[in-house]
Amino acid sequence: MDHFLYKDGVLHAEDMAVPTIAAQVGTPFYLYSAATLRRHYRLFDEALDGMDHLVCYAMKANSNQAVLKLMGDLGAGMDVVSGGEYARAKAAGVSGDKIVFSGVGKTREEMKMALMGGIRQFNVESEPEMIALNDVALSLGVVAPITVRVNPDVDAKTHAKIATGKSENKFGIPISRASEVYAMAAKMKGLKIIGIDVHIGSQLTELAPYKAAYEKVRDLTETLRAEGHEIKRLDLGGGLGIPYERSNDAPPLPMEYGQMVKETLGDLGCEIEIEPGRLIAGNAGILVSEVIFVKQGEDREFLIVNTAMNDLIRPAMYDAHHDIIPVQEAAAGIEKTPYDIVGPICESGDTFAKHRDLAPLKAGDLVAFRSAGAYGAVMSSEYNSRPMIPEVLVDGHQFAVIRERPTLEDMINRDTIPEWL
């Protein structure tokens, strides 16, 4: 469920009419619903009710400061994958003891930043990382709390580019080598083992892969405890999918996921961490765009919009589907037209949809790309020298621009011409 609905034939974000915001902000822009963000966080928190747990928002999905502040105020922890994300989390007021540092390529500088600023744990992904973290911790006279990310070799049944839990993926250590790696960690004076980490992918649409991975984690927990390690925390990752296509069957609900976690791991006495990102932010955002031209091709009509692949790269990168709807609701019974919906960038890959049936549209009409709150703005760029587009947050009857659109001068002036040119 989200809070983007038609009221009197006009698309609204909560209590704000989308055309009203567009008139003040200009198009294109990302538009987020605070009510939807809050609701989705609470669904996960309630799903694990009765277990010691922390919901750590995976901020790679959407790292705007306003979104992070909203999440932090609800009690969320943060899952970060870079020094920049760590700094963003801290700037939003999240305390270090609620920040989990993931990622396969942490630098020594990033490790030092987190150890000095406070950290809940590092999810260590390799022996070289473990050695580096131990060195940094000893140099600072501190002890780094760690879990080791294990790769359970489980097929998440998702897109190949967002699967992370198979043996050929770059993430984690093979679960078959876990005892060896934990024994190595236990000998390092700068590290303290606190648990196990696992994450098998993103946009999962069924629970079976999770259950298979978590059963392996359960067995590993018992093995490591028998070998003398303290395993008090299980970081289970994130990845639960969202319904990008409203006509498709919905992925499992957080409550169903939570019940599976309780049944599989509930009697181990471990604190549970989960790291949802897409399911919290995805359907909490839309991308509002304007039709520039309707162009007649040889055998199709092109709807050319002022949004491009630099603003929303998911369709070009993953062949991802986004429902695209008119901001002004079509009249009942009107005959629809199949459009190829494309952007203005000089790439054939700048295509959002092919043969998408929509009510007839014309230049100046507004359309909305649904499910754009995750991996939209954070993956955008200035390709073709197109300025980054604004982000807007709605909360009831009010809205605010939470990232301004830079001017062309702002964009150009970031470059420097050497004196010798």
DSSP 8-state code for residue 204: B
d(CA 240, CA 205): 7
**For this structure, is 346 an active site residue?**
yes
Q: Which pair of tokens denotes residue 404?
A: 């301004």
Q: What is the phi/psi pair of residue 322, to 5°? A: -130, 130
* Separation of alpha carbons 256 and 205, rounded Å: 12
Which candidate, 164, 170, 150, 168, places its Cα nearest to that of 239?
A: 164
User: Do 2 and 254 meet the contact criterion of CB atoms below 8 Å apart?
Assistant: no
Largest CA distance in the chain: 71
Active-site pick, 226, 334, 346, 417: 346
Look at residues 87, 83, 78, 237 and name the one whose alpha carbon lies nearest to residue 152.
237
Q: Are 329 and 352 contacting, i.e. CB atoms less than 8 angstroms apart?
A: no
Number of residues that this document lists for the chain: 421
Show which residues are catalytic.
346
